[in-house]
Structure formats: structure tokens, C-alpha cells
């Protein structure tokens, strides 16, 4: 197990009004402080969400892609429950198919993202954005010449809910697909 023996949990409190990008950056800053003795090029920042369950090999798959030279890995996500209508299920499959790239599944989820700390820092982290922080980071990494990889083996199971907090997140997408 890639994280065997690493069971430390830190809960951050915050009273400030922050965007999702700032919240994610706050978490990264806290982790980087805890791991300050570890070089950034040997530190992998793994990101997921509270409504997501990682699979047993999730961290190992991210680490394996980085060992092969990736600076960032976008894993795949399965829904915990499929969209309720047949039309929404068909539309969701179409969304996934349109995202597919020759190099992989083509989706980027904040709920399943691994980024080497040196690459993350070089492009300025997530940034003060209210939504799309995961996609923005991915685009800047790619444009900055960092090696990005899509990995279907690094899988998470995330909520199939249609009401969420992110105005342009997965829940909003799933809700829009259900509209007749």
C-alpha cells in the first residue's frame, strides 16, 4: 500500500469567505508546511472531495504514473448512483465520450487529481476562482509544458447527486442532463 503507515489527519478551520480555489490552495499550503522537509519534486499532492470514496489502488496508480514521468494525473470517476432517467444516462455517456482523447479518458475532476508539488507551485496552484479550479490548473500545467496524464486505473467513486455546492460542478452537470 502506497500510504501504509501514513495515517495523520489534520482538520483545518477557516472563517474567511474563500473561493473553492482558495480553499484547495489553503489545504495544499498546510500540507506543504507539514512536509517542508520533503522536496517539492518528490511530493505528490492528491486531491479528492468529501463526497468521494477512493478505490484501494487509487494512490498507488497516481504514484505509478508519476514514477513514469507524469507531473499531473487526472483519474477517472464513477458515479455512486447513475442518473435516474434513461435520457440523462445516455447524455452522461455522451459527455464522457466527447471528452475522450487519444491519450485517455479526457476528464479532469477535483475529486481525483494528483499533481507534483513543484509543478503545482510553478503554475500558481488552483487560484482564487469560484469554480473550474481543477480544469484551470490542468490547462495551466499542460500549457506550461508539464507532463499530464489521464489514468482510468486511478478511480474514485463520487456522488451522483444533482444538488451540490459548486455552481458549475458535477452535480450541476448531472442536473442539466436530466432536463427534458
pLDDT tens digits for 133-152? 999 999 999 999 999 999 99
Domain assignment present for residue 47? The answer is yes
Domain assignment present for residue 169? The answer is yes
Burial class of residue 167 in the structure, from the number of CB atoms within 10 Å of its CB (0-12 exposed, 13-18 middle, 19+ buried): exposed
Domain assignment present for residue 124? The answer is yes
Sheet holding 72-79, edge to edge: 44-47, 113-116, 72-79, 148-158, 52-54
Domain assignment present for residue 69? The answer is yes
Domain assignment present for residue 89? The answer is yes
CATH of the domain at 90: 3.90.550.10
What distance in Å separates the CA atoms of residue 158 and residue 86, rounded to the nearest whole number? 20
Q: Where are the beta strands (DSSP E) in the chain?
A: 44-47, 52-54, 72-79, 113-116, 148-158
Are the C-beta atoms of residues 25 and 110 closer than 8 Å to each other? no
Total domain count for the chain? 1
pLDDT tens digits for 15-33? 899 999 999 999 999 999 9
Domain assignment present for residue 141? The answer is yes
Give the model's confidence band at 84: pLDDT under 50 very low, under 70 low, under 90 confident, else very high. confident
Amino acid at each position: 500500500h502506497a500510504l501504509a503507515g501514513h495515517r495523520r489527519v489534520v482538520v483545518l478551520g477557516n472563517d474567511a469567505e474563500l473561493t473553492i480555489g482558495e480553499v484547495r490552495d489553503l489545504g495544499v499550503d498546510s500540507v506543504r508546511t507539514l512536509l517542508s522537509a520533503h522536496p517539492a519534486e518528490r511530493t505528490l499532492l492528491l486531491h479528492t472531495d468529501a463526497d468521494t470514496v477512493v478505490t484501494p489502488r487509487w494512490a498507488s496508480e497516481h504514484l505509478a504514473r508519476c514514477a513514469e514521468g507524469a507531473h499531473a494525473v487526472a483519474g477517472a470517476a464513477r458515479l455512486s448512483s447513475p442518473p435516474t432517467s434513461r435520457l440523462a444516462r445516455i447524455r452522461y455517456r455522451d459527455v464522457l465520450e466527447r471528452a475522450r482523447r487519444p491519450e485517455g479518458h479526457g476528464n479532469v475532476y477535483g475529486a481525483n487529481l494528483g499533481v507534483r508539488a513543484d509543478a503545482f507551485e510553478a503554475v500558481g496552484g488552483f487560484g482564487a476562482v469560484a469554480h473550474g479550479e481543477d480544469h484551470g490548473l490542468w490547462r495551466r500545467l499542460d500549457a506550461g509544458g508539464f507532463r499530464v496524464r489521464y489514468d482510468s486505473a486511478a478511480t474514485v467513486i463520487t456522488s451522483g447527486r444533482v444538488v451540490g455546492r459548486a455552481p458549475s460542478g458535477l452535480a450541476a452537470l448531472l442536473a442539466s442532463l436530466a432536463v427534458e
